[in-house]
Amino acid sequence: MTHFSLEHLVRKPRIQSPKAPALFLFHGYGSDENDLFSFAEQLPDELFIISAKAPYQMQPYGNAWYAIYFDDSQGKFSDDQQAIQSRDLIRDFVQESIEAYNLDAENINLLGFSQGSILSYAVALSYPEMIKNVVALSGYINQDILKDGYQHNDFSKLEIYSSHGSVDQVIPVDWARKTKPFLEKLQIPVQYSEFPVGHGVAPQNFHEFNSWLKKRI
């Protein structure tokens, strides 16, 4: 039995292949592995879907990938050390899953929402040799949690879909708008979309990223 770094749920592919392409789902702050797993039914049949549970338990319920603090001087700020630990925990978990579930190591895709999206960026930009595509919903790139020297990585296999609600009250849309120029500077192909919603995923947003992903797996 493999010992996994993260608890998770699995949906096996409906179309069998010797090595399945995989999609890892990473939920937002205060949620759990069931949240994004509700998407699984409508995602491409050939995908092996793995929905991970963040390591830090919150009270009274829910989980976080890292703590978010609220204080007078800095306002709201993230525990970047915890975020870096979670970044590498995800990297290890992906490796464990490839071996345990016989996944196609050349076709590993990440989908994150909010905190899960911030970490999906961090994993892909720090370890691009492992990741093919990222769907980043309602997040932003936190440069402080990227691996030192990340700008020298080979990003030639990586593509990113990024979207945000134009009236997001949790993560300002201005933060998300920096994503496209940042990734283009690294010569990473990126599609960026905004939808007239708050901190959530609009139905048309789901359809757009789903078809984006279908073409790339």
Q: By the 8 A CB rule, do 121 and 192 touch?
A: no
Question: What is the model's pLDDT at position 78?
Answer: 87
**pLDDT digits 0-9 by tens, 36-83:** 999 999 999 999 999 999 999 998 899 999 998 876 666 667 899 999
Mean pLDDT calculated for residue range 183-203: 97
Query: How far is 69 from 87, CA to CA, in rounded Å?
Result: 19
Residue 185 within a domain = yes
pLDDT single digits (tens) 92-112: 999 999 999 999 999 999 999
| Rounded distance between C-alpha atoms, residue 64 and residue 54, angstroms | 5
Q: What is the pLDDT of residues 3-46, one digit of tens each?
A: 899 999 999 999 988 899 999 999 999 999 999 999 999 999 99
pLDDT band at 124 (very low <50, low <70, confident <90, very high): very high
Give residue 69's pLDDT.
82
Token pair in block for residue 170: 């949790």
Nearest to 114 by CA among 55, 39, 165: 165
The answer to whether residue 191 is domain-embedded is yes
Mean pLDDT across 182-192: 98
**Residue 111 parent element (H or E):** strand 103-113
Q: How far apart are CA 213 and CA 160, in angstroms?
A: 10
How many structural domains are present in the chain?
1
Domain encompassing residue 140: 8-214
* CATH number of the domain where residue 12 is located: 3.40.50.1820
162 within a domain of the structure (yes/no): yes
pLDDT tens, position by position, 143-168: 999 999 999 999 999 999 999 999 99
